[in-house]
């Protein structure tokens, strides 16, 4: 097997050093040399360089300054700094801002420099392979998300038909005509619809495209309460919303956040509690929206509080997909929002969130 061609660029204003470098390494590497930083940059614009070496002390541009200048335009080549004197500040600056792989003192030792170039190329290859893997994973993930979205839509179409038939059966008074069969079908259909909705929320929440639209918390919260209490008439809602400023934000993600929290507040009520209650308090100003959602439900065990935002986490007392609170946390992260939770099994659970006003 033939060895890969390693393209090395050496920049130094002293011609003797350039000649010595070419003579020492021309058999191992494809060598390019430049007497100035400007000439070195011109070479890099036309040739795919793997390893670039630069002398620190050059008349117009130092090696550190050159490396700084190419960090964004040429991020891939591995950088090695050569210098005939020790300047600790320059070396620290080079490492912090120039992405320096190694520092070699002049006059160099041929074996040391050869090993440094070889190791630098290995690092170049490893980084390139990693970037390729990341690109492949991103592509695969995007294809998987599109597949999930498509399948969820395909599943929802016949499911909506089934739920429509159940409603017709109810309207015609035949719901109880076959024992518990219609009830079982309705329960399974609602559960499947819930899972599909969570899957679609998860898919849409992974999209990075921001949505900046005006949000009316009065209407949004009331619509969500009406939606989630359609099949639950026992839970009482106390709503206190003060919105004295125009609020702009990601309306879809805000709806997802509030929908999940309101749904959980209803779902995890204590069946023995005679006065099931959910309190929603929202204060909106020009800087942020502060949302408190409190219930007197089952509560969350202390040892589970750190895990509830983890993907697919489910406790023995809380049944679901394990995606709801994970989606809430991810949605808030994308809007630079925060969430805190306090809970115990006696008093219920309180979620406090803040969402920056993007207007």
Residue 327 near residue 205, CB atoms below 8 Å: yes
Whether the pLDDT of residue 52 is over 50: the answer is yes
Residue 125 near residue 162, CB atoms below 8 Å: no
Residue 9 near residue 45, CB atoms below 8 Å: no
Residue 229 near residue 271, CB atoms below 8 Å: no
Shortest CA distance to 247 belongs to which of 358, 96, 339, 125?
A: 358
Q: How far apart are CA 62 and CA 136, in angstroms?
A: 38
Q: How far apart are CA 147 and CA 127, in angstroms?
A: 30
Residue 129: partners with Cβ closer than 8 Å, 6 or more residues away: none
Residue 182: partners with Cβ closer than 8 Å, 6 or more residues away: 166, 169, 174, 175, 176
Q: How far apart are CA 45 and CA 67, in angstroms?
A: 14
Mean pLDDT of 288-300: 92
Rounded to the nearest 5 degrees, what angle is found at the Cα of 259, between the Cα atoms of 255 and 264?
155
> Around Cβ 48, how many Cβ atoms within 10 Å?
9
- Confidence at 1, pLDDT banded by 50, 70, 90: very low
Mean pLDDT of 4-8: 90
Counting every residue, how long is the chain?
359
Whether the pLDDT of residue 29 is over 90: the answer is yes
What CA–CA distances, in Å, run from 216 to 42, 136, 241, 278, 292?
56, 41, 10, 20, 16
- Confidence at 80, pLDDT banded by 50, 70, 90: very high
Summarize pLDDT for 130-189 with one digit per residue, the tens: 999 999 988 887 787 777 777 776 777 788 888 888 888 888 888 888 788 888 888 888
Mean pLDDT of 108-136: 92
Q: How far apart are CA 314 and CA 316, in angstroms?
A: 7
Six-digit token string for 306: 């750190």
């Amino acid at each position: 097997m033939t060895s890969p061609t390693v393209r090395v660029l050496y920049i130094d204003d002293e011609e003797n050093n350039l000649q010595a470098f070419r003579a020492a390494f021309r058999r191992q590497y494809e060598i390019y040399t430049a007497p100035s930083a400007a000439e070195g940059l011109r070479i890099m614009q036309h040739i795919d360089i793997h390893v670039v070496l630069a002398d620190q002390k050059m008349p117009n541009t130092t090696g550190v300054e050159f490396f700084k200048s190419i960090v964004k335009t040429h991020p891939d080549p591995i950088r090695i700094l050569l210098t005939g004197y020790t300047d600790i500040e320059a070396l620290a600056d080079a490492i912090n801002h120039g992405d320096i792989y190694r520092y070699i003192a002049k006059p160099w030792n041929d074996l040391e420099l050869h090993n440094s170039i070889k190791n630098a190329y290995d690092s170049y290859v490893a980084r390139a392979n990693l970037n390729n893997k990341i690109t492949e994973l991103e592509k695969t993930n995007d294809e998987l998300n599109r597949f999930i979205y498509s399948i969820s839509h395909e599943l929802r179409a016949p499911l909506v038909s089934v739920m429509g038939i159940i409603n017709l059966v109810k309207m015609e008074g035949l719901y109880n005509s076959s024992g518990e069969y219609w009830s079982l079908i309705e329960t399974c259909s609602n559960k499947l619809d819930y899972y599909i909705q969570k899957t679609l929320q998860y898919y849409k929440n992974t999209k990075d495209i921001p949505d900046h639209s005006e949000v009316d918390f009065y209407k949004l919260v009331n619509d969500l309460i009406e939606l989630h209490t359609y099949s639950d008439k026992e839970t009482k809602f106390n709503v206190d919303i003060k919105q004295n400023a125009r609020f702009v934000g990601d309306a879809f993600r805000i709806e997802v956040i509030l929908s999940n929290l309101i749904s959980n507040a209803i779902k995890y009520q204590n069946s023995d509690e005679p006065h099931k209650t959910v309190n929603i308090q929202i204060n909106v100003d020009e800087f942020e929206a502060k949302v408190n959602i409190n219930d007197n439900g089952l509560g969350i065990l202390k040892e589970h509080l750190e895990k509830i935002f983890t993907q697919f986490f489910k406790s023995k007392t809380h049944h679901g997909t394990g995606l709801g609170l994970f989606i809430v946390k991810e949605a808030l992260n994308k809007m630079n929002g925060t969430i805190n939770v306090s809970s115990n099994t006696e008093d219920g659970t309180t979620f406090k969130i803040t969402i920056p006003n993007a207007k």
